[in-house]
Amino acid sequence: MVWFRRDLRVHDLPALAAARASAATVAPLFVFDDALLHGRWPSPNRVAFLIGSLRALDAALRALGSRLHLRRGRPADVVPAFVAECGATAVFVSRDYTPYGRRRDAEVARALGTIPLHQHPGVLIQEPEAVLKPDGSPYTVFTPFRRRWEALPRRRILPAPLDLPTPEGIAVGTIPNDIPASPSAESILASGEEAARQRLDRFVSSGLAGYAGGRNDLGTPRTSRLSQDLRWGLLSPLEVATRCAASESFVAELVWREFYAHILYHYPLVRTTAFQARFREIRWRNDPDDIAAWKAGKTGYPVVDAAMRELQATGFVHNRARMIVASFLTKQLLVDWRIGEAHFMEHLVDGDLASNNGGWQWTAGVGTDAAPYFRVFNSVLQGERFDPDGLYVRRWIPALRHVPTRFVHQPWQMPPTLQAEVGCRIGLDYPAPIVDLDQSRQRALAAYRAAEA
């Protein structure tokens, strides 16, 4: 049998190919683990995308003469029960590198007894054991990691199987009926492998060449929008890297994804703790009003507010905007990065423990190879640089629609008559800034220095 987890595809899936090659029949399974639905990071947006992708996977498997079987419960109970039900002689999976996934797979392997659990690559391009320094220790700095990563040989890309004979008469199972409704359902991109492959085709033919120049542009986004597809394994990262090899800058982003997955694998403590010991005792303010204003997109800083409203409405945020809002929360408001991390995980369709944790620790300046802690993104300058025409902020903040471009990233600078004329009265139609950028920056630097001392 093949147990699908975060690899919901039939193309270039070594676990599926190996199962097909080793047995006359193969039974595909997906388990609704309670940890997924109600665990540390429940997310209706992510579950909505998952369910659509499972339906698509079922359709793809039917086209091969098979079905996707669904079960609910603890994998250590459900997987051996399914093995008994279909008389399987081996279980094939794509290797999972997260602390939870490793624990779960060890438990399942024990529960399976003499039935082997074969773990294959497929979620990452390079294995954590392959990208090590000459002395055998893991890299904690990105550039040498990337150099080593790029020098390694890669496995061959595999086609989808031509057919997948499956034993008859196994109960198919159902999608659980206690799935929470997704608040952003309308805006989530089409789910399923086929839709993801179409996105990849479109990006290769019309986005890749302009990626390096346009990847920071907030007004007219020019990134691939493949993150949810990589998160759920609708696309093989190896296939994406191979097809996008013409853009070094794009492949570097895929390497960041691998870097953070390897960091989490080698240093599972980052899951809850700053990688840099000197920043584990920062005295965060965690002011509830500040946190609420940040989440609601009501800080008075347009680019921050636009990004937070985009997240709320769509379950996605542009990378540049993620860095801006994470810097604002941790530095300008002096709020613990873990509060931001959890909020992102609640909403992001691409929410991924390793990349999200890595992104938050990097921006807060407390992680591996992080931005130096004294680097604080200035939200006004970032807005003016990456959204010079105000397209992004006007899209998400109706009160800014008629604000002249020269004021759009600092609307409080408009004289009151102009505020009234353009329908953006500060304090009425749009909030006044909740902090002064310079003073709050000094406050953050003092808190970081004190933690270091």
Contact residues toward ligand FAD (CB under 6 A) are 215, 223-227, 230-231, 253-254, 256-257, 260, 318-319, 322-323, 326, 344, 348, 350-352, 355-356, 358-360, 363
Rg (CA), the chain: 23
Residue 448 Cβ, how far from ligand FAD at the closest point, in Å?
18
Catalytic residue among 253, 378, 384, 412: 253
For the chain, give the longest Cα–Cα distance. 79
* Residue of 3, 41, 149, 360 marked catalytic: 360
Nearer to ligand FAD, 304 or 326 (CB): 326
CB closer to ligand FAD out of 372 and 415: 372
Tokens of residue 351, six digits:
């929410």
Nearer to ligand FAD, 71 or 295 (CB): 295
For residue 50, give every residue at least 6 positions away whose Cβ sits within 8 Å of its Cβ, in sequence order, or none. 8, 36, 191, 232
- Is 357 known to be catalytic? no
Contact in structure between 341 and 360 (CB atoms under 8 Å): yes
127 is catalytic: no
Least distance (Å) between residue 107 CB and ligand FAD: 26
- Select 238 or 422, whichever has its Cβ closest to ligand FAD: 238
User: Closest approach of Cβ 332 to ligand FAD, in Å?
Assistant: 15
Instruction: Clarify whether 149 is annotated catalytic.
Output: no
Backbone angles phi, psi at 97, to 5 degrees: -105, -5
Whether the Cβ atoms of residue 390 and residue 409 lie closer than 8 Å to each other: yes
**Can 253 be counted among the known catalytic residues?**
yes
- The residue written with tokens 């599926």 in the block is 16
396 is catalytic: no
Of 127, 239, 256, 384, the active-site residue reads 256
Q: Find the catalytic residue in 107, 194, 239, 319.
A: 319
Distances (CA, A) of 451 to 368, 374, 445: 17, 13, 10
Residue 57 has φ and ψ, to the nearest 5°, of: -65, -40
Q: How far is the CB of 272 from ligand FAD (least distance, A)?
A: 16
Catalytic residue, chosen from 127, 194, 284, 378, is: 284
Q: Which is nearer to ligand FAD, 116 or 210 (CB)?
A: 210
Does 248 qualify as catalytic in the annotation?
Answer: no
CB of 442 to ligand FAD, least distance (A): 23
Torsion of CA 105, 109, 115, 118, to 10 degrees: 40
Spacing of C-alpha 403 from chain mean position: 34
The two three-digit tokens of residue 168, written as one number: 């008859």
Q: Are 89 and 49 in contact (CB under 8 A)?
A: no
Number of H helices, E strands in the chain: 20, 5
Indicate the residue among 355 and 419 with the shorter CB distance to ligand FAD.
355
* 318 closest CA partner among 362, 375, 359: 359
Rounded to a whole number of angstroms, the minimum distance from the CB of residue 249 to ligand FAD is: 9
Annotated catalytic residue within 149, 337, 362, 396: 337
Task: Just list the catalytic residues.
Answer: 253, 256, 284, 319, 337, 360
